[in-house]
Structure formats: structure tokens, C-alpha cells
């Protein structure tokens, strides 16, 4: 869409204003490089539309496409002009937390996006040496209610199928409770006390979960309904 104006806001809107574009940039800045990684963070986007948006971002100089050295296919990397949008995204998040978060509907509590964020929030350095396996069970989900996060050698892997490995930490809850805890609207302790969450495992790992699974960067931002 062309606005036909020299205004820099209009020129920026021509690039960022298309549906999905700003969320693709969010995923790129957060470290997604593979096409399937981008799709995981944007579960409702079609592969065709994602390809089209990536091509446009490449034309605009926000993305560099390279052949993968380790796997078949290509990888996508944020350029400096793309990374320079991080403060813009943060300001958008602050505004969204203040003025829109209280209007989120139950359908928008996206489990797949939540698990992607939780995987990214884990700090391997805060866990014991060797492998640590965390199992999440969501009692309000009928299909794909079990998820596993494997942490080994500083890397994390998200699994939807039982990896057949001994589990070190079990977290049982519902999607909304997990999101509210991670976003800072609730705490692990309160959720357990209220019976909304169960955390089972070695006490060194379970007594302070947010020491190894960091809270959302949005934690602490004000919400209009709370002001």
C-alpha cells in the first residue's frame, strides 16, 4: 500500500503496516532463522503468505536470505535496519500491555506461542550440568496437552511427543494460568496455593522456577484496568 506522502511515518507504515509483517520481524529479532521456526511463532499464517512477506522484507533490506550450511533450504537473518526496530517493538508492547491486554479473549491464549516463549525463556546456565527435562501438562487442552522441553549442552529443544527420557520437572496447569504467571499477573507460589498449578520435581529446581525460566520481558508493565 502506497500513501503517496513524504512523511517518514507514512513511509514506515508502507513497510510495517501489512498484516503479519511486524510479527515476522518480532520472530526474526527473537532469533528465529528457519522457515519452520517462523511458522511456529505465527501459527495462523499460511506458508504462501509467509514466503511473500519474507520476500518483501528482503527487497526492503530488512532480511538477508542465506543457504543453510547445516540443513537443506535457507535461513533468514535480521539486518541492522530490522534490528533497529527493537525499541519500536518494545514501545508497541508497552502500549499494548497498558491499553489492550485486558481485552484479550480466551481464544487468544495461544498454547503453541506460549510454549515457544517458555522455551526461549529457559536459562540453561541456571540448571544442573547434563540434561534436564521439563514436562508441561495443560489440563484444559484435549489435543496436544503434553509438551516437553529438553535442555542439554546449553541448548533447548521443544517436543510435542514423549522423548522417552526421564522427566526432572513436571508442571501441570491450564494455559491461562501459565500465561498469567509468565507474564507476571500471577506467581508460581500463588498459583500452587490456589490449586491452579502443580510443580513436582527436585526441590532445588521447583522451589524457584523463575530462577531458570525467566519471566516475560513484559512483566511489570502497567495495565489500564489496574490503574
Indicate the SS3 state at residue 175.
helix
Q: Is residue 227's pLDDT more than 60?
A: no
pLDDT at residue number 1: 77
Cα distance between residue 197 and residue 88, in whole Å: 35
Over residues 117-169, the pLDDT tens digits come to 999 999 999 999 999 999 999 999 988 899 999 999 889 999 999 999 999 99
* Joined grid coordinates for residue 108: 487468544
Domain 108-211: CATH architecture, name and number where available: 2-Layer Sandwich (3.30)
Cα distance between residue 74 and residue 82, in whole Å: 18
Give this prediction's pTM.
0.83
* Assigned CATH for 8-84: 1.10.10.10
Residue 181 has φ and ψ, to the nearest 5°, of -70, -50
Q: Indicate the domain borders of the chain.
A: 8-84, 108-211
- Split at pLDDT 50, 70, 90, the class of 223 is confident
User: Between the CA of residue 11 and those of 4, 15, 33, 152, 206, what are the distances in Å?
Assistant: 9, 7, 26, 45, 49
Over residues 200-216, the pLDDT tens digits come to 999 999 988 989 999 98
Cα distance between residue 25 and residue 90, in whole Å: 12
Longest dimension (CA), the chain: 62
Q: Cell 506458508 maps to which residue?
A: 47
Amino acid at each position: 500500500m502506497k500513501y503517496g506522502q513524504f512523511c517518514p511515518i507514512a513511509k514506515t507504515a508502507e513497510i510495517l503496516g501489512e498484516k503479519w509483517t511486524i510479527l515476522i520481524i518480532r520472530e526474526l529479532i527473537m532469533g528465529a532463522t528457519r522457515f519452520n521456526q517462523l511458522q511456529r511463532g505465527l501459527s495462523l499464517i499460511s506458508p504462501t503468505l509467509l514466503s511473500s512477506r519474507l520476500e518483501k522484507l528482503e527487497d526492503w533490506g530488512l532480511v538477508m536470505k542465506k543457504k543453510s550450511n547445516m540443513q537443506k533450504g535457507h535461513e533468514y537473518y535480521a539486518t541492522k535496519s530490522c534490528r533497529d526496530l527493537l525499541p519500536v517493538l518494545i514501545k508497541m508492547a508497552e502500549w499494548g500491555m497498558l491499553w489492550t491486554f485486558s481485552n484479550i479473549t480466551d481464544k487468544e491464549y495461544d498454547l503453541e506461542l506460549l510454549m515457544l516463549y517458555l522455551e526461549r525463556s529457559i536459562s540453561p546456565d541456571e540448571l544442573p550440568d547434563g540434561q534436564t527435562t521439563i514436562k508441561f501438562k495443560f489440563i484444559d487442552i484435549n489435543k496436544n496437552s503434553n509438551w516437553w522441553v529438553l535442555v542439554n549442552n546449553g541448548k533447548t529443544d521443544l517436543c510435542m511427543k514423549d522423548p522417552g527420557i526421564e522427566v526432572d520437572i513436571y508442571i501441570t496447569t491450564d494455559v491461562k494460568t501459565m500465561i498469567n504467571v509468565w507474564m507476571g499477573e500471577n506467581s508460581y507460589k500463588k498459583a500452587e496455593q490456589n490449586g491452579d498449578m502443580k510443580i513436582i520435581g527436585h526441590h532445588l529446581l521447583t522451589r524457584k522456577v523463575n530462577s531458570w525460566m525467566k519471566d516475560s520481558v513484559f512483566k511489570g508493565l502497567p495495565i489500564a484496568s489496574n490503574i
